[in-house]
Amino acid sequence: MQQVKDPTLIKRIGERIRALRKKHQLTQLELAVKMDNHAEQIGRIERGELNVSICTLHKIAQCFQLEIHELLRLED
């Protein structure tokens, strides 16, 4: 059976979220407040330590005024 969790992908998504957060000049705390979450969770997401749910990704995308597919557009 193939492993469902891809650590490299999870890390790349976290890096994308960190880059967007910095581009929007938000701290982890400010982003967490906007999405009604905890700053510790944002840090874990950005470090690739947390396999994020689709619902959480949707909330993050909304904070950056993006569609979820735009949030997941990763650079090669």
Going by the DSSP 8-state scheme, the letter that residue 25 receives in this structure is T
Q: Is residue 74 very low, low, confident or very high in pLDDT (cuts 50, 70, 90)? A: confident
Helix H segments across 1-76? 7-23, 28-34, 39-46, 54-63, 68-71
Question: What is the predicted pLDDT for the residue at 11?
Answer: 95
- What's this model's pTM, rounded to 2 decimal places? 0.89
7-71: CATH number: 1.10.260.40
Question: What is the predicted pLDDT for the residue at 76?
Answer: 56
Residue with tokens 């619902």: 55
**pLDDT beyond 70 at 3:** no
Per-domain residue ranges of the chain? 7-71
d(Cα 57, Cα 68) in Å, to the nearest integer?
Answer: 7
Alpha carbon distances (Å) from 21 to 1, 36, 73: 36, 15, 15
Q: What is the pLDDT of residues 19-68, one digit of tens each?
A: 999 999 999 999 999 999 999 999 999 999 999 999 999 999 999 999 99
